């Protein structure tokens, strides 16, 4: 997962970053001050991180739009991404691994709000606001954009890239409500960048073409193009080749029913690069024709990164075992490169009951459903 740089902190779980043209690069290197105590023994749950109450609110689905407006503010949802399966299909000469993966998006995710302002700023709120800067005692740095002297948060990277590509957007105050765990294999940073691009292009004084928007997403990260579309997709290549899934996304015979699931995480950050660095297998290769598989069948195709991730973070294996023990659980697996896991359930009540049980055990968990 890409790394991010956060500049400056406020008390509690709120971080504000203001961007000024001359001092921007310097300020983005100032780092952070406060570091909460993360308990990493077993599957312990940091007391400073709060789970959202059940049931979860639904993302607006009318006309497949996730953008809402209140007064002069724009709100865009950034749904969490779940890799139903992930196959390694080889490696390119430049070191990038080729993959084959089916992804879906959930009604749980981050939220981004844009408000007209005198100067650009970014305020990060939510359960994981401070976590963006508190992994491994170092500020998290995103992959820098080309010709960029600094590496701001992906939301600001998206704003800068949008303007550089010809989009016209006046100064905005950005609020990122960070609810997806950081470094979790749920595409949080990529989802945020994609949500920014969608909101900007929908409400800018001058928008860019869909082709340009896709190109910007590709520059921001391998998962951003998929997150830009935010519906069931198959990713191949290095993740840059995407196509819509025709497989049924439900465990129910009702055609419009959602797949109910629980997302869970041991809250131990796991860098994607570390998983690939320790990968000693060529993988299972392409999954081939998947059009006849339902969502449970897709999960059954496996995740070639799971064994390596469990070696690096044994708590992942313990979490998967616990998920499989929950009443109504159909199948459980790790998402992406970890450390987040997910389980599919045969009903919404079963998923909510499992979520409550996991939280009582001190585990971060969210009951949600597929979009």
- Rounded to 5 degrees, φ, ψ at 342 are -145, 155
> What are the start-end ranges of the H helices in 8-69?
24-27
Taking Cα atoms as reference points, which of 238, 240, 235 lies closest to residue 217?
A: 240
Q: What is the spatial distance between Cα 308 and Cα 113, in angstroms, rounded to a whole number?
A: 37
Q: How far is CA 67 from CA 154, 205, 322, 359, in A?
A: 19, 17, 36, 30
Which of 81, 120, 177, 304 is an active site residue? 81
d(CA 129, CA 15): 7
**223 given a catalytic annotation:** yes
Measured CA distances, 295 to 99, 123, 233, 252, 258 (Å):
19, 37, 12, 10, 10
Q: Determine whether 81 is an active site residue.
A: yes
Catalytic residue among 100, 110, 120, 223: 223
Q: Give the integer Cα–Cα distance in Å for 13 and 125.
A: 6
Q: How far apart are CA 79 and CA 59, in angstroms?
A: 8
Rounded distance between C-alpha atoms, residue 250 and residue 87, angstroms: 22
Angle between helices 154-164 and 188-203 (to 10 degrees): 40
The set of catalytic residues is 81, 223
């Amino acid at each position: 997962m890409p790394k991010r740089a956060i500049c400056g902190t406020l008390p509690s779980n709120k971080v504000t970053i203001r961007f000024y043209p001359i001092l921007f690069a310097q300020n983005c290197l100032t780092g952070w001050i406060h570091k909460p105590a993360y308990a990493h023994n077993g599957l312990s749950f940091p007391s400073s991180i709060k789970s959202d109450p059940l049931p979860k609110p639904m993302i607006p689905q009318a006309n497949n739009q996730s953008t809402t407006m209140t007064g002069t503010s724009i709100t865009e949802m950034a749904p969490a991404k779940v890799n139903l399966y992930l196959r390694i299909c080889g490696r390119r000469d430049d070191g990038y691994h080729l993959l084959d993966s089916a992804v879906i998006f959930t009604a749980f995710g981050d939220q981004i709000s844009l408000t007209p302002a005198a100067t650009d700023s970014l305020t990060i709120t939510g359960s994981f606001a401070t976590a963006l800067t508190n992994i491994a005692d170092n500020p998290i740095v995103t992959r820098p954009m080309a010709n960029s002297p600094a590496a701001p948060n992906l939301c600001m990277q998206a704003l800068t890239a949008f303007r550089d590509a010809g989009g016209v957007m006046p100064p905005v105050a950005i609020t990122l409500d960070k609810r997806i765990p950081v470094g979790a294999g749920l595409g949080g940073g990529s989802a945020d960048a994609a949500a920014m691009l969608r909101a900007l292009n929908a409400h800018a004084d001058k928008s860019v073409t869909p082709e340009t928007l896709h190109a910007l997403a590709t520059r921001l990260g391998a998962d951003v193009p998929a997150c830009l579309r935010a519906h069931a997709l198959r990713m191949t290549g290095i993740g840059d080749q995407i196509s819509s899934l025709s497989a049924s996304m439900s465990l129910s015979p009702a055609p419009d029913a959602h797949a109910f699931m629980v997302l869970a995480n041991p809250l131990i950050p796991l860098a994607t690069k570390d998983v690939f660095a320790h990968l000693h297998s060529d993988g299972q290769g392409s999954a081939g024709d998947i059009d006849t598989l339902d969502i449970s069948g897709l999960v059954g195709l496996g995740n070639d990164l799971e064994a390596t991730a469990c070696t690096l973070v044994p708590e992942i294996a313990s979490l998967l075992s616990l998920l499989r023990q929950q009443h109504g659980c159909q199948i459980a697996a790790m998402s992406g490169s970890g450390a987040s896991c997910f389980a599919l359930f045969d009903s919404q009540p079963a998923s909510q009951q499992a979520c409550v049980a996991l939280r009582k055990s001190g585990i971060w968990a969210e009951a949600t459903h597929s979009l």
